[in-house]
C-alpha cells in the first residue's frame, strides 16, 4: 500500500494531542453556530416574511469583520492565539445567552437579533484569523495538508449536525429558545476543552510594534502572491454570486413546503457532501492537477446551484445541495493549504485575517446579495442567476490567473519553486 494513502498517514494530524482537542472545540463551536443560523433565519423570516431581511442577517455579521480585519489580524500575530480563541468562545456564549433572552421574552421586530449578530460578528472577526493561524503550530509541516483536510471534514460534519439539531429542536418546540440554549452549552464546553491545548511556543506572541504598514502587510502579501490572490478571489466571487444559503428559509417555507425541520435538512445537505469529499481528500490527497480540480469543482458548484434553484422536488434539491457542498470542499482545501504553506508564521494571523474578510464577503455579503435579488426578482431567479454568475467567474479566472490552471502539487512555496525548477531542468 502507498505510504501516503496508508491508514496511519491518513490520520497523521491526530497524532498531535493539541490538534485533537482543538478539533473537538472547533466541532462544538461550529455546531453551535449552525444551530443558531437555522434558528435565526427561521425566526427572522417568520417575523418579517421578507427575503431582504434574511440578507440583512448576513450583512450584520459581515460589517464588523470588514471594519476590524486589520486589527484582528495584527492581534493574532501579537497576542497568544490560544488566549484569543478562548476569549472568543466566551464571547460567542454570551451572544447565545442574549438571543435566548430575547426569544424567551418574545420579539415583534428583528432589530434586536441584528444587534446581537453585530456583536457576534465582532467576536468572529477576532476568532477566525487566530483559529486559522493556530493549526500550523499544532502539527508538523508535512502533516499540514492532512490537518486541513480533516479540519474541513470535521467542520463540515458539524455543519451537518448543527442545522439538523437546530431544525429539529425548532420544529418540535416551535420556538428558538432551546436552540439558543443548546448553542450556549456547546460554546461553554468548547471553552473548557480549549483550555487543555498546549503548544511548545506561544504562537502570535511576537513583540511586533503596531504600525499602518504592518497592519496592511497581510493584504499586500496576498496581492503579491498572484496564485493565492487568484484562489481566494475565485472563491469570493463564486460563492458571493452562487450561494443560496440565505434563501433556504424561503425555499423551505414557500417552494418545498417542508417547515423548520426541513430547513434543517436543507442546511445540512452541503455539509454531508463536504464531509464525504473531505474524507476522500484526507485518504487520497490531491497529488497532481490541484488547480484544474479547483476550477472544475467551482464550476460544478455553479451548475448544482442552478439545478437547485429550478427544482421543486425535495430529494433533487437535497442532492444538489449535497453535491455543491462536496465541490466547494475541494476549493476550500486547495485555498487554505496554499495560504498556510506559502505564508511565514509571523504573518499568518494578518494573512488569515484578510482571508477571513474574503470568506465573509463571499458568505455574508453573498447572503445580502441573495436577499436583495430575491426581494426584486424572486427567490428562484436569484439562485439561478447566481449559479450562472459562478460559471462566468470560473471562465474569467481561468484566463486572468493562468497559474490556477497550471497549479499541480500542493507544496510549501520553497518546495514548489524547487520542484518547478527541477521540472524545467529535466
Buried b (16+ CB within 10 A) or exposed e, 109-145: ebebbbebbbbbbbbbbbbbbbbbbbbbbbbeeebbb
Instruction: Give the pLDDT band (50/70/90) at residue 414.
Output: very low
φ, ψ at 267 (rounded to 5°): -65, -30
**What pLDDT, on the 0 to 100 scale, is given for residue 412?**
52
CB 325 within 8 A of CB 273: yes
d(CA 277, CA 275): 5
| Cα→Cα distances 137→244, 314, 385, Å | 35, 43, 42
Task: Scan for cell 455574508, then name that residue.
Answer: 364
pLDDT at 115 over 90: yes
φ, ψ at 84 (rounded to 5°): -60, -45
**C-alpha cell read off for 322:** 449535497
Q: Domains plus CATH for the chain? A: 11-198+210-425 (1.20.1250.20)
φ, ψ at 266 (rounded to 5°): -60, -45
**What pLDDT, on the 0 to 100 scale, is given for residue 36?**
94
The pLDDT tens digits for 366-409 are 788 888 899 999 999 999 999 999 999 999 998 998 888 877 76
Task: Using a pLDDT cut of 70, give the percent of the chain over it.
Answer: 88
**What pLDDT, on the 0 to 100 scale, is given for residue 189?**
97
Could you tell me what percentage of the chain is helix, strand and coil, using 3-state DSSP and rounding each to the nearest 5? 85, 0, 15
Instruction: Give the pLDDT band (50/70/90) at residue 202.
Output: very low
The mean pLDDT value for 67-72 works out to 80
Amino acid at each position: 500500500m502507498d505510504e501516503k494513502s496508508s491508514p496511519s498517514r491518513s490520520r497523521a494530524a491526530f497524532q498531535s494531542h493539541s490538534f485533537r482537542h482543538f478539533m473537538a472545540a472547533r466541532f462544538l463551536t461550529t455546531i453551535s453556530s449552525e444551530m443558531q443560523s437555522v434558528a435565526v433565519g427561521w425566526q427572522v423570516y417568520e417575523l418579517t416574511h421578507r427575503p431582504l431581511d434574511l440578507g440583512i442577517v448576513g450583512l450584520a455579521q459581515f460589517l464588523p469583520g470588514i471594519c476590524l480585519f486589520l486589527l484582528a489580524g495584527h492581534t493574532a500575530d501579537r497576542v497568544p492565539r490560544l488566549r484569543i480563541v478562548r476569549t472568543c468562545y466566551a464571547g460567542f456564549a454570551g451572544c447565545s445567552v442574549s438571543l435566548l433572552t430575547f426569544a424567551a421574552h418574545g420579539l415583534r421586530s428583528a432589530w434586536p437579533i441584528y444587534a446581537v449578530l453585530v456583536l457576534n460578528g465582532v467576536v468572529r472577526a477576532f476568532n477566525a484569523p487566530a483559529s486559522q493561524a493556530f493549526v500550523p503550530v499544532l502539527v508538523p509541516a508535512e502533516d499540514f495538508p492532512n490537518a486541513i483536510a480533516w479540519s474541513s471534514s470535521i467542520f463540515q460534519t458539524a455543519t451537518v449536525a448543527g442545522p439538523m439539531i437546530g431544525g429539529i429542536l425548532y420544529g418540535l418546540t416551535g420556538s428558538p429558545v432551546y436552540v439558543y440554549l443548546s448553542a450556549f452549552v456547546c460554546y461553554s464546553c468548547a471553552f473548557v476543552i480549549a483550555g487543555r491545548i498546549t503548544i511548545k511556543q506561544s504562537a502570535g506572541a511576537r513583540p511586533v510594534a503596531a504600525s499602518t504598514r504592518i497592519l496592511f502587510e497581510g493584504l499586500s502579501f496576498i496581492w503579491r502572491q498572484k496564485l493565492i490572490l487568484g484562489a481566494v478571489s475565485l472563491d469570493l466571487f463564486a460563492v458571493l454570486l452562487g450561494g443560496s444559503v440565505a434563501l433556504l428559509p424561503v425555499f423551505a417555507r414557500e417552494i418545498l413546503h417542508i417547515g423548520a425541520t426541513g430547513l434543517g435538512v436543507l442546511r445540512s445537505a452541503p455539509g454531508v457532501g463536504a464531509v464525504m469529499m473531505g474524507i476522500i481528500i484526507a485518504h487520497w490527497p490531491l497529488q497532481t492537477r490541484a488547480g484544474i480540480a479547483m476550477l472544475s469543482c467551482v464550476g460544478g458548484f455553479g451548475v448544482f446551484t442552478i439545478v437547485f434553484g429550478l427544482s421543486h422536488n425535495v430529494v433533487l434539491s437535497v442532492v444538489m445541495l449535497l453535491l455543491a457542498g462536496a465541490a466547494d470542499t475541494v476549493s476550500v482545501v486547495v485555498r487554505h493549504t496554499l495560504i498556510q504553506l506559502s505564508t511565514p508564521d509571523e504573518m499568518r494571523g494578518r494573512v488569515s485575517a484578510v482571508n477571513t474578510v474574503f470568506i465573509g464577503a463571499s458568505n455574508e455579503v453573498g447572503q445580502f446579495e441573495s436577499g436583495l435579488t430575491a426581494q426584486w426578482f424572486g427567490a428562484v431567479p436569484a439562485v439561478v442567476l447566481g449559479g450562472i454568475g459562478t460559471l462566468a467567474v470560473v471562465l474569467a479566472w481561468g484566463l486572468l490567473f493562468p497559474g490556477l490552471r497550471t497549479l499541480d502539487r500542493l507544496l510549501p512555496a520553497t518546495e514548489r519553486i524547487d520542484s518547478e525548477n527541477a521540472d524545467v531542468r529535466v
